[in-house]
Amino acid sequence: MSVAVFGSVVADTRLVTEAPARLHTSNPATSRAAAGGVARNVATALARLGLPVRLSSRVGEDAEGRALLEGLRAAGVDTDGIGRSATQSTARYWAVLEPSGELVIGLADMAVLEEHGPAEVAPVAARRADAWFLDCNLPATTLALLLDHPARPALVAADTVSAAKAMRLADHLARLDLLFTNAAEAAALVGPGAPAELARRLVAKGVGGVVLGQGAAGLA
């Protein structure tokens, strides 16, 4: 089973304060850098399972982009569909956490992905695959092209990413065979409700199946 994955490749930095965070001043913290991005994580996991995987994304002409590409290739992911931006840096995400693990603030610089338009995904979309996975970090026009693409495979899955970006799928729910989301992101699409009810509403809108994460409570 071959898979084409479309979406984000991100340089993640996690900072954990040594004591409860105090705003408007410096806080001692420890930091850890890692490769991230929804699409990158999915592509890497599938490649490690032995599946042929192609990834369509965009990075900057910088050290972070080069390191991410090297990591993907080492994991066995086909990176021919990853473009290089001469004007934007590689996508970055910074998470500041309390010692308890609670998020204080998250900061995302995803501007490079706005350059990954319909023309940029076309070469990977034109090649045969048994399944596609999309994440909503891509521009709405790109997602629309993929979801209505004449060569789309029998299985198309997507991840909503955030409540705001989930709305990029609002007019295309019936084109999804599987949707990965959480309660806040699902509510952005179908209104507030209990997790099981949110999943039912998404299916009623045409989604083939829903995996709704509830944090420590598991899946709905």
pLDDT in tens, 117-168: 999 999 999 999 999 999 999 999 999 999 999 999 999 999 999 999 999 9
d(CA 183, CA 187): 6
Q: Model-level pTM? A: 0.92
Tell me the HSE value of 21 on the side-chain side, using a 13 A CA sphere: 18
Single-letter residue type at 175: R
Integer Cα distance of 66 and 152 in angstroms: 30
Sign for the pseudo-dihedral over CA of 151, 156, 159, 164: positive
Residue 213 is predicted with a pLDDT of 84
Q: What is the chain's mean pLDDT, rounded?
A: 95
Please tell me the predicted confidence (pLDDT) of residue 152: 95
Residue 219 has pLDDT above 60, yes or no: no
Q: What is the distance of C-alpha 7 from the center of its chain?
A: 6
pLDDT in tens, 69-93: 999 999 999 999 999 999 999 999 9
| Structural contact between residues 146 and 125, judged by C-beta atoms closer than 8 angstroms | yes
Please say if the pLDDT value at position 218 is more than 80.
Answer: no
Name the strand (E) or helix (H) holding 74. helix 63-75
pLDDT at 67: 98
> What are the boundaries of each domain within the chain?
3-9+36-83+113-159
Q: Write b or e for each residue in 189-207: b if 16 or more Cβ atoms lie within 10 A of its Cβ, otherwise e.
A: bbeeeebeebbebbeeeeb
Q: What are the tens digits of pLDDT across the range 133-144?
A: 999 999 999 999
Contacts of 185 (CB under 8 A, 6+ apart): 160, 161, 162, 163, 166
The token duo for 51 is 């599946």
**For position 209, what pLDDT does the model report?**
98
Reported confidence tier of residue 198, pLDDT bands at 50, 70, 90: very high
**How does residue 214 score in pLDDT terms, banded at 50, 70 and 90?**
low
Collect all residues with Cβ–Cβ distance below 8 Å to 26 and sequence separation of at least 6. none
Identify the CATH number of the domain defined by range 3-9+36-83+113-159.
Answer: 3.40.1190.20
Q: Could you give the 3-state DSSP secondary structure of residue 5?
A: strand
CA 195 to chain centre: 21
Check pLDDT > 80 for residue 217.
Answer: no
Q: How confident is the model at residue 175 (pLDDT cuts 50, 70, 90)?
A: very high
Q: Which residues fall within 8 angstroms of residue 24, CB to CB, at 6 or more apart?
A: none
Tell me the pairing of strands 131-135 and 3-6.
Answer: parallel
Task: State the amino acid at position 72 in one-letter form.
Answer: L
